Structure 1
Amino acid sequence: MNVNIITIDGPSGSGKGTLAARLAAHYQYHLLDSGAIYRLLGLSLSEHGLLEQLNDDIAKCVAIAEQLPIVFKSTEQGVVVLLNGIDVSAKIRTEEVGEYASKVAAIPELREAVLQRQRDFAQAPGLIADGRDMATIVFPEAQVKIYLTASAESRAARRVKQLQGMGLDVRISDILANIQARDKRDMERTVAPLKPAEDAYFIDSSDIGIDEVFNLMTSHIDAKLANN
């Protein structure tokens, strides 16, 4: 089976999710939001009262991870994420659940439990995989590897604008502190730390718009796939 795999890695708030969905629509490829899987697992473990004792009940946590009932549905408004048949698309995007995901992702046994599920998303004609270790761990064989980043300050400003648009009252200092703490945890974890693959195409979106980033990505992808 010939499957083109395009990975987009980078820190939280760099625009990976929006661009991955846009690329999936552009190329008519499948979409993997690996961060959503970790957010869903974090949410589920929290609901089971296990989040604060991950290492104490690791076997139970792994069992939940392996059987987590996740469904991604594509709609005109974007991707709808279902957990146990319930739409949790908005809920998993909160800062709180983002913190859950970062904690879960630091546990080796839980990462292993979701690894095969992630790889199963690679189906013809192709896959756009968005995450933090897509190119380094999950799909090292990917034909195209992109690392998308932006300064913590610009990511915090974008997040504040997004949350305010949802009617939430937030302070940029709090959001910036959360982003910096998450970056530190993601980059320093012992298993699959956040870092660019050696052969990744690096894009810094701090001072450029989403359309320009999209054009940079498609030009790079087209050139890479033409040479494969």
Structure 2
Amino acid sequence: MKKIIIAIDGFSSCGKSTMAKDLAKEIGYIYIDSGAMYRAVTLYCIEHQLFDEKGQVKEEELKARMNDIHISFRLNPETQRPMTYLNGMNVEDRIRTMEVSSHVSPVAALGFVREALVRLQQEMGKEKGIVMDGRDIGTAVFPQAELKIFVTASPEIRAQRRYDELKAKGQEASFDDILYNVKERDRIDQTREISPLRQAEDAILLDNSHLTIQEQKEWLKTQFLKATHA
């Protein structure tokens, strides 16, 4: 069976990462979480005071430090899930906090950040046999991907999922704050100048608002089989 690149794009909190991880594990592909890479840069900015008092990124300072930011993924031997590492430190849990979520969009909108991470992502995908999810994988990172999926769900359903996820981790969460964050990230992601969030012309739309995890898994496996036997 030929190896392909699978690009999964879509709105925040649609469960893209979970579905991409599950699919990669089932078909024996490497999973790359592009969103985690932008979150790692955001965490670096927070830890190095690269946001001003208004929450704006100190662009020139970040630009000067980009070569000091090293992002990699390593498999957790127990769960066989990839964990995100920033400069050698496991930051998987820290990049999933609301603090990072509320700062990531302006960082991801910076051209020099996107250029650096897109280069890294393209390098990771040279051998094919990967599943990558994000905002611009099928449009900017791998426009040649053999299978492109664009995921959507209503803002309210996405906010509820995020709320449930944070509460399950024992973190404080406000549904209204999360809903505002979801809508604000949609606005920023869709209107940024560089690689805005949009559905690629050849992407298959998946609205998972009312799908069970099992229904989604079966749908994804069907699309994968179609693409590899085309």
TM-score by length of 1: 0.92
Percent identical among aligned pairs is 38
Counterpart pick for 1:154 among 154, 157, 161: 157
Q: What residue number does 2:181 align with?
A: 178
Give the match's secondary structure for 1:49. coil
Cα distance in 2, alignment partners of residues 198 and 96 from structure 1: 34
- Runs of 4+ with deviation above 3 angstroms: none
**Structure 1 residues 45 and 130: alpha-carbon distance in aligned structure 2, compared to 1, 3 A threshold:** same
Show CA shifts across 1:8-66 (max 9, x none).
Answer: 00111101000111111111111110001100011112222223353x543x4234334
CA contact (8 A) 1:143 1:224 kept: yes
Unaligned runs of 5+ in 1: none
Q: Kindly report which structure 2 residues correspond to 1:57-76, keeping only aligned pairs within 5 A, or say none.
A: 57-58=59-60, 60-75=61-76, 76=78
CA contact (8 A) 1:29 1:128 kept: yes
Tell me how far 1:157 sits from its aligned partner.
0.8
Comparing 65-74 with 178-187, which one deviates more in the overlay? 65-74
Q: What one-letter code is carried by the residue in structure 2 that aligns with 1:150?
A: A
Structure 2 residue 44 is the aligned partner of structure 1 residue 44: yes
Unaligned runs of 5+ in 2: none
Tell me how far 1:125 sits from its aligned partner.
5.1
Tell me how far 1:210 sits from its aligned partner.
1.6
Cα distance in 1, alignment partners of residues 161 and 170 from structure 2: 15
Give the match's secondary structure for 2:124. coil
Cα distance in 1, alignment partners of residues 99 and 189 from structure 2: 16
Cα distance in 2, alignment partners of residues 149 and 174 from structure 1: 20
CA contact (8 A) 2:3 2:228 kept: no
Structure 2 residue 18 is the aligned partner of structure 1 residue 15: no
Counterpart pick for 2:135 among 132, 137, 160: 132
Q: What residue number does 1:201 align with?
A: 204
Q: What one-letter code is carried by the residue in structure 1 that aligns with 2:194?
A: V
Comparing 81-90 with 139-148, which one deviates more in the overlay? 81-90
Comparing 190-199 with 116-125, which one deviates more in the overlay? 116-125
Cα distance in 1, alignment partners of residues 112 and 172 from structure 2: 37
Comparing 94-103 with 202-211, which one deviates more in the overlay? 94-103
Cα distance in 1, alignment partners of residues 194 and 184 from structure 2: 17
Q: What residue number does 1:166 align with?
A: 169
**Structure 1 residues 182 and 43: alpha-carbon distance in aligned structure 2, compared to 1, 3 A threshold:** same
Q: Kindly report which structure 2 residues correspond to 1:60-139, keeping only aligned pairs within 5 A, or say none.
A: 60-75=61-76, 76-77=78-79, 78-124=81-127, 126-139=129-142
Give the match's secondary structure for 2:127. coil
CA contact (8 A) 1:42 1:51 kept: no
CA contact (8 A) 2:42 2:100 kept: yes
Q: What residue number does 1:221 align with?
A: 224
CA contact (8 A) 1:39 1:97 kept: yes
**Structure 1 residues 167 and 193: alpha-carbon distance in aligned structure 2, compared to 1, 3 A threshold:** same
